[in-house]
Amino acid sequence: MAWVVLEGMRFHAFHGVYEAEQVLGSEYIVDVYVDTGIQNAAKTDSLAATEVNYETVFHICLVAMAKPRKLLEAVVSDIIAKMKRQFPGMKGIKVRVKKMNPPIYGNMNLGEKHQAIGGRADSAWVEDEQKFVSDCPRCKQKFLCYKDETCWCKALTNIHPATLETLTRQFGTSCLCGTCLKLYAG
Ligand SMILES: [Zn+2]
Ligand SMILES: [Zn+2]
C-alpha cells in the first residue's frame, strides 16, 4: 500500500449558509489522502501514465475551494470528482474539508420571547472516503473501477455497441477488468 498525502492545505473561502460566511469568508483546512498502491490490482495501459503529484492535488483543491458552496459535503464531492477525472489509477481516496471557527447559532425558547444564542466551535468538518478496487465479474481478478462516468473504461470507444449490449446483459452494468474488456474491443 502506498499513499500520497497532502495534509493541512489552508484556504480562505466563502462556503456556508450564513451571510457572514459568504461575505467575510472563513478559514479552511483541507486534507487529501490518495491510496496509490495499484500493484495488487490489474493495471491497464491507461492507468500507468498518471502519477498523483502534489501540485495537481493542490490545484484541484484550490479550484474547488474557490467555488462558494452552501455545504461542505458539496466541496468534498467536488474535490473527489476532480481527482477521479485527473487520476484514473487511484485505489482509494479520502478527503476532509474542515471549517475553522464556524459560527453556530442556536435558538432557545425562554417562555414569552425567543432569545437567540450565538456560539462558536473550533471546527466543523466533513470527510468522505471511497475505495475503487472491484472484482471483475468475468475473470474474478481485482481491478480498479470508479463506478461512474470518470472511470477509465468509459474512454474505451472501440467496443461495438452490440457487444456492449451483450456484456451488459451478461455482467450487468458493473465494469469488467482491462484484460477482459480488451477481448471484446477492436
Ligand atoms: Zn476480468
Ligand atoms: Zn469502470
- Report the CATH number that the domain containing residue 111 is assigned in CATH: 3.30.1130.10
How far is residue 53 from each of residues 34, 90, 136, 183, measured CA to CA in Å? 10, 12, 28, 32
Residues 141 and 122 placed together within one structural domain of the fold:
no
Nearest 5 degrees, angle CA 85-CA 123-CA 66? 40
Residues 54 and 122 placed together within one structural domain of the fold:
yes
Residues 35 and 56 placed together within one structural domain of the fold:
yes
Task: Please report which residue ranges of 115-177 form alpha helices under DSSP H.
Answer: 161-171
Q: How far, in Å, from the CA of 175 to the mean position of ligand 2?
A: 4
> Which ligand neighbours the alpha carbon of 135 most closely?
1
pLDDT tens for 138-154 read: 999 999 888 888 887 77
Residues 36 and 95 placed together within one structural domain of the fold:
yes
> Which ligand neighbours the alpha carbon of 174 most closely?
2
* Total count of domains within the chain: 2
pTM of the model: 0.81
Catalytic residues: 99
The answer to whether residues 100 and 58 touch, using CB atoms and an 8 Å cutoff, is no
- Per DSSP, the three-state class of 34 is strand
Residues 107 and 169 placed together within one structural domain of the fold:
no
Residues 140 and 169 placed together within one structural domain of the fold:
yes
Please give the residue range of the domain that contains residue 151. Answer: 135-184
Q: How far, in Å, from the CA of 171 to the mean position of ligand 1?
A: 11
Residues 22 and 34 placed together within one structural domain of the fold:
yes
**Which residue positions in the chain have pLDDT lower than 50?**
40-42
Last residue of a domain, one of 93, 114, 131: 131
Residues 27 and 76 placed together within one structural domain of the fold:
yes
Q: How far, in Å, from the CA of 35 to the mean position of ligand 2?
A: 17
How far is residue 148 from each of residues 91, 144, 151, 153, measured CA to CA in Å? 15, 12, 6, 10
Residues 57 and 146 placed together within one structural domain of the fold:
no
Residue partners of 60: CB distance under 8 A and separation at least 6: 79, 82, 83, 86
**Three-class SS string for 42-99?**
ECCHHHHCCCCCHHHHHHHHHHHHHCCCCCHHHHHHHHHHHHHHHCCCCCEEEEEEEE
DSSP for residue 118: E
Residues 174 and 83 placed together within one structural domain of the fold:
no
> Which ligand neighbours the alpha carbon of 143 most closely?
1
Sign of the Cα torsion 70, 73, 76, 77 reads negative
Assigned C-alpha cell, 61: 483543491
Residues 87 and 12 placed together within one structural domain of the fold:
yes
Residues 168 and 79 placed together within one structural domain of the fold:
no
Q: How far, in Å, from the CA of 166 to the mean position of ligand 2?
A: 17
- Per DSSP, the three-state class of 9 is strand
pLDDT at 40: 42
